[in-house]
Amino acid sequence: MVEALIQQGNSYAERPETFRDISRFDNQEGMFAAYGAPRIKIRRFTMQTLRDFGMGKSFLEPKITDEIHCIIKEIKKSSGKPVFIKDSLAKSVVNVLCAMMFGKRMDYEDNNFQQLILLAREYLDSIKINKVSLYVPQFLLQLFGNKTVLYRGTLLYRKIFEEVKKFKFDATNNEESFIDVWKNKAAKPNANSEIFNEKKLVQILAELFIAGSGSTSTTLEWALLYLIKHPQVQKKVQMEIDDVIGRDRDPSMSDQKLMPYTESTILEVTRIVTIAPLAAPHRTTEDTMLRSYFIPKNTTILLNLSALHMDPEVFPEPEVFKPERFLTEDNKVKRILEMNPFSLGLFSAYGAPRIAMRRFTLHTLRNFGMGKSILEPQIMSEINYMLEDMKKFEGKPVDLHELLIKSTTNVLCAIKYGKRMDYDDKNFQHLLHLSRDYIASIHVNQLSAHLPKFLTKLLGFQSLAYKGTLLYKKVFDEVKKCQNNSSNIPESFIDVWRAEADKPNANSDIFNDQRLAQVLTELILAGSDSASTTLQWALLYLIKYPEVQKKVQMEIDDVIGRDRYPSMSDQKLMPYTESTLLETTRIVTIAPLAAPHSVTEDTMINGYFIPKNSTVFPNLWGIHMDPEVFPEPEKFKPERFITTDNKVKKTPELNPFGLG
């Protein structure tokens, strides 16, 4: 399977017509039915949006926790009588999807909600019948009252369309739902209207309903059944839950890595059950060879996941329910390549190495919560450390630059290495010194580049590349100290990179430790300095403008108060504070010319000829100080980023760190 779908992924990248015929609702093509570039683009957008909304991350925790409370309340209504758990689980799972898609949950008794669940279930149930009905004349189907799969899927599609029509889109909001993100994408000048339109959106939502609700709730049903059937496993799971979570609080995603037996039990359920035994079918796009077998173009390929999961050479005694098979000797969750409960495959290809690395890095940072609430525990922890460090000065003047750069760099360390570093740690201080030295020398380097080498040595100048290399070597030392994570839960950027490097189709010219150290070095240089410098300027402007400081403080007191820490979820309730930060990044523009670009070919822009290999500097400062875009640009006015109804205004011309 790996050889076919990963190593020769492009040859097996399409779906057969019979599969597309039952998933093309109202003649629309989404992730299931589309083919070629549109399907890849739709799938990539959808998967990235789901990741950004926290699928599998703590960003979704509040919604999941609320839903758990609702299902428990629903079960309690039975007063100890038998409960049809299938319905309760389906409602709960679908409602988490509703929260992501529509930005809100729906009441269990709501007729529209119940109809959505019924239509999704009928579609899935009818797939089995449809295999027979394909060969039966239409008049006989009508006589027996058998509706086709496509008919039932189209009913679901139209019901979701009704819900989308009710949705009130606000371009100024903070993208609180999948629909918001989709419509914002569609509103962009370069958006492909054949892909990003309302009908296609409804098709994607219908597919998410079908794929998400059925697989998740069915897995949960099987898990409960196996726990009942194997009380000794149930007892171990319960003991681990009691030890880690206890009975006085809700579970959290951060508990996952502390509960290896519970996770291995879930993995074993998905293995032994394999709820999608043949997965979704693939179709070959060209004549191809697989292990000396010739497979002609347009052949339908079915993946026998069930056989893979029941292979005794991979999973000894496969018919026995043994969660322990997913545990290492040191009680960590074991990665098993052959474990693929919902299929595998190649849906996109890498371009040039830089594009591949950039895409991988940005996606990984998003998945680790950059800009999302999943990073809150690390940020809160770092704020506490910084406050403790400040208290040591006992009211004396503090070099805030030092504290801010330590704090922001340590949040990056938590993402990159999976742990923070002590402020007094010599390695940590050395990293800070080298990165600061590199950034400070950028300005000197512009002068020294025009001096003879003997003069630069005489004056004690060291080249920018030399200083950057010192930092790179220091980061490389830290990378070599990081041991491979044997669990299948990536805890750091390094874990994700090395997991990617271990894949059979990984490009070793890109995914190696040297390239990893280079990327980590760039993240330190870009992340720590820009964040800490922005915070310093924000504090300076608040001191300079006490009336702005007062409004920010009032908003903080109204929304957060003095008895708890701030949360990412508070952001949308604090438009003035956010607009103050936006105005700081505008008026300061800490990267006024951003990073330079190089032209890859002769080109024309606004009537000007630009030859290949020209160096181009984006004048961000010029844009941010343009009076036609920002009236009275020299004035510090947070109000310019607030709408008349007190929401944060999106201003496309604001690009504090570059674009492209």
Asked if 263 and 333 count as a contact pair (C-beta separation under 8 A), the reply is: yes
Mean pLDDT over residues 161-175, rounded? 73
pLDDT score, position 14 = 72
Closest by alpha carbon to 411, among 439, 371, 440, 438?
A: 371
pLDDT score, position 10 = 66
pLDDT score, position 370 = 45
Look up residue 232 and give its two tokens: 């000794």
pLDDT exceeds cutoff 90 at 305: no
Asked if 115 and 91 count as a contact pair (C-beta separation under 8 A), the reply is: no
pLDDT in tens, 583-597: 999 999 888 887 788
pLDDT tier for residue 347 given thresholds of 50, 70 and 90: very low
Asked if 216 and 86 count as a contact pair (C-beta separation under 8 A), the reply is: no
Q: Comparing 80 with 407, which gets the higher pLDDT?
A: 407
pLDDT exceeds cutoff 50 at 56: no
Report the range of poorest mean pLDDT among 16-30, 67-81, 130-144: 130-144
- Write down the mean pLDDT value for the chain: 78
Mean pLDDT over residues 606-619, rounded? 88
pLDDT score, position 335 = 77
pLDDT score, position 611 = 92
Closest by alpha carbon to 5, among 283, 296, 419?
A: 283
pLDDT score, position 172 = 58
pLDDT in tens, 96-152: 888 888 878 888 888 888 888 888 887 777 765 444 454 455 556 556 566 667 777
Q: How many residues does the chain have?
A: 660
Name residue 14's beta-bridge partners.
Answer: 283
Report the range of poorest mean pLDDT among 208-212, 248-252, 320-324: 208-212
pLDDT score, position 545 = 95
Phi and psi at 642, nearest 5°, equal -120, 135
pLDDT score, position 378 = 74
Closest by alpha carbon to 421, among 408, 402, 437?
A: 408
Q: Comparing 295 with 4, which gets the higher pLDDT?
A: 295
Cα–Cα dist 63/55, whole Å: 11
Mean pLDDT over residues 306-334, rounded? 90
Mean pLDDT over residues 453-467, rounded? 64
pLDDT score, position 482 = 78
pLDDT in tens, 536-558: 999 999 999 999 999 999 999 99
Q: Both ends of the chain: CA-CA distance in Å?
A: 37
Mean pLDDT over residues 429-457, rounded? 67
Look up residue 566 and give its two tokens: 């701030």
Q: What DSSP state is assigned to residue 335?
A: P
Q: What DSSP state is assigned to residue 570?
A: G
pLDDT exceeds cutoff 80 at 37: no
Judged by DSSP in three states, 300 sits in strand
Mean pLDDT over residues 206-228, rounded? 83
pLDDT score, position 554 = 94
pLDDT score, position 238 = 92
Cα–Cα dist 398/536, whole Å: 13
Asked if 448 and 461 count as a contact pair (C-beta separation under 8 A), the reply is: yes
Cα–Cα dist 514/611, whole Å: 34
Look up residue 497 and give its two tokens: 């990179």
CA trace torsion 642, 646, 650, 655 (10° rounding): 40
pLDDT exceeds cutoff 90 at 581: yes
pTM beyond 0.85, yes or no:
no
| Domains along the sequence of the chain with CATH | 1-13+230-348 (no CATH), 17-216 (1.10.630.10), 351-544 (1.10.630.10), 546-659 (no CATH)
Q: Comparing 182 with 13, which gets the higher pLDDT?
A: 182
- Which contacts qualify for 175-182: CB closer than 8 Å, 24 or more apart? 176/103, 176/572, 177/100, 177/101, 177/102, 177/103, 177/104, 178/49, 178/50, 178/53, 178/100, 178/101, 178/102, 178/205, 178/208, 179/101, 179/102, 179/103, 179/205, 180/103, 181/49, 181/52, 182/49
Asked if 513 and 493 count as a contact pair (C-beta separation under 8 A), the reply is: no
